[in-house]
Amino acid sequence: MKALFDSYQLGPITLKNRIVMAPLTRSRAGKGEVPRELNAEYYKQRAGAGLIITEATQVSQQGQGYLWTPGIFTQEQVEGWKKVTAAVHSRGGEIFLQMWHVGRISHTRLQPNGASPISSTDKAAANSFSFTYDEAGKPAQLPTSKPHNATLAELKQVIADYERGAHNVEKAGFNGAEIHGANGYLFDQFMNSVVNERNDEYGNQAKETRTRLILEAFEAVAGVLGSAHVGVRIAPYGSFSGMAPDPKVEETFLYLAQQLTQRGAAYVHLVRGSQMDPEPVVPTEFFAKFRKAFEGSIIVTGGLTKRIAEQLLADNIADLFGFGSLYISNPDLVERFKNNWPLTPPDQTTFYGGDAHGYTDYPAYQPDLVTT
Ligand SMILES: Cc1cc2nc3c(=O)[nH]c(=O)nc-3n(C[C@H](O)[C@H](O)[C@H](O)COP(=O)(O)O)c2cc1C
């Protein structure tokens, strides 16, 4: 029988178990959006996971939507990430960088030259926030700015930014990259047939046009790292960051699954429900259809417990199991699961921004010493 704690062969990469640290934005990068020792310590503490996927990391300044999130487009950022990969590798961990472009989930104050963010539409995302400076210069959650529908030249630049990012991922010593196609960010804005209002080769009219941008990004990144080192994260049925219910959701994502199979993607990472959803939003039947359509490995994340993950493994829904919020407060999550030790709940007030508090000061579990 397959077990969560068994090693897993992710293409050419051997993972020491099937437990994945899901990508978690913590907004604690140093000046210039450069990862620092504090970040290296945080990831090292969590290197018991079979695979770590880093926090979302912008491939360009245009791709940024929140303060203090790290980047992967300057030499300083590459040097900063080297500290992180070295720390994780020193504990025998494997680590992929999550490559990010937020599209319209941004603010003119974060954009180069105060420009409007790019998207597949010129409508602002409903009920969505960017984390930036307010008029008084204080960090604040502000409604996202009105975007503009990207020109073809701008989309070409996005792909070039992903390619440069992939070279930097390699230089920084990562084992691979995950393309962030989930949670209402740029690629999701193109894949959603309601949000996407274009009618060109990247438009909403067909599954081929809606998925063109993310597939081009995949090819650019895989061209550098090799497709067996590139995964894609998606959130079908997700409503995070202004995603609209989409009647074409199944058609789009099952097509994407086939296309990623053909291109040899390492894995698809399915978001089962976001941290805002009380219950999983992806229907059970969709998982079964997706399993058939995609021949690579599948990671599933969202509202998992050890018990649910074991059930999904037994049901052959997925191969690898991601934990988000629990990894914030349980750096030794694998050991706790193995030994059925109690879990520490995360403190939401320290999720974003700040320093070591609520970040590297969650201790590993200390079993009571039994004295006789
Ligand atoms: C503080 C926080 C930050 C997150 N940042 C990211 C991110 O950078 N990229 C991403 O794809 N998902 C992000 N997520 C979503 C998680 O990866 C995960 O899908 C979600 O928390 C649901 O899993 P869970 O129930 O195990 O927490 C974040 C979630 C939280 C709570």
Domain range annotation of the chain: 8-350
Residue ID of nearest Cα to ligand 1 atom 31: 325
Give residue 1's pLDDT.
81
pLDDT digits (tens, 9 = 90+) for 236-273: 999 889 999 999 999 999 999 999 999 999 999 999 98
Q: pLDDT band for 367, please (50, 70, 90 cuts).
A: confident
Task: Classify residue 109 as left (phi > 0), alpha (psi -120 to 50) or beta.
Answer: alpha
- Nearest CA to 215 among 150, 168, 158, 164? 158
Q: What is the number of other CB atoms lying within 10 angstroms of the CB of residue 214? A: 23
From 42, 162, 185, 362, active-site residue: 185
Ligand 1 pocket residue status of 274, Cβ below 6 Å: yes
Pocket lining: 30 vs ligand 1, CB cutoff 6 Å: no
Asked if the model's pLDDT at residue 294 lies above 70, the reply is yes
Give 58-80 as a DSSP string.
ESSGGG--BTT--BSSSHHHHHH
Q: How far is the CA of 196 from the centre of ligand 1 (A)?
A: 24
Work out the average pLDDT over 308-332: 97
> Of all atoms in ligand 1, which is nearest to the CA of residue 328?
1
Residue 147 per-residue DSSP state: -
Answer yes or no: 8 catalytic.
Answer: no
Are the beta carbons of 166 and 231 closer than 8 angstroms?
Answer: no
CA distance 216 to 298: 21
Residue nearest to atom 12 of ligand 1 (CA): 23
Strands (E) in the chain, as ranges, are 8-10, 13-15, 19-21, 51-58, 95-100, 118-119, 129-133, 139-143, 148-149, 176-181, 230-234, 267-271, 297-301, 320-323
Whether 258 is in the pocket of ligand 1, judged by its Cβ within 6 Å, is: no
Q: Residue 278: pLDDT band by 50, 70, 90 thresholds?
A: confident
Among the CATH numbers 3.20.20.70, 3.40.190.10, 1.10.3720.10, 3.30.200.20, which is that of 8-350? 3.20.20.70
Tell me how far the alpha carbon of residue 371 lies from the centroid of ligand 1, in angstroms: 40
Looking at the predicted structure, is the pLDDT value of residue 310 above 60? yes
- What gap in Å lies between CA 1 and CA 364, rounded to an integer? 29
Going 295 to 297 to 302 to 307, the CA torsion angle's sign is positive
Q: Is the pLDDT of residue 95 over 80?
A: yes
CA neighbor of 107 nearest in space, from 78, 83, 141: 141
Closest CA to 221 of 161, 261, 267, 171: 161
Mean pLDDT of the chain: 96
CA torsion through residues 10, 87, 54, 115, sign = negative
Q: Which residues of 20-39 are buried (b: 16+ CB within 10 A; e: fewer)?
A: bbbbbbbbbbbeebbbeebb
Q: Whose CA is nearest to atom 18 of ligand 1?
A: 324
Note the pLDDT tens digit of each residue in 143-191.
999 999 999 999 999 999 999 999 999 999 999 999 999 999 999 999 9
Number of other CB atoms surrounding residue 266 within 10 Å? 27
Q: What integer pLDDT is reported at residue 180 of this predicted model?
A: 98
The CA 117 to ligand 1 mean position distance, Å, reads: 23
pLDDT grade for 227, boundaries at 50, 70 and 90:
very high
Q: Check if the beta carbon of residue 249 is closer than 8 Å to that of residue 210.
A: no
Identify the pLDDT of residue 86: 98
Mutational pocket test of ligand 1: of 24, 97, 241, 349, the residue with most ligand atoms within 8 Å of the beta carbon: 24
Closest by alpha carbon to 218, among 228, 227, 210? 227
Ligand 1 proximity of 302 Cβ (cutoff 6 Å): yes
pLDDT tens digits, one per residue of 198-217: 999 999 999 999 999 999 99
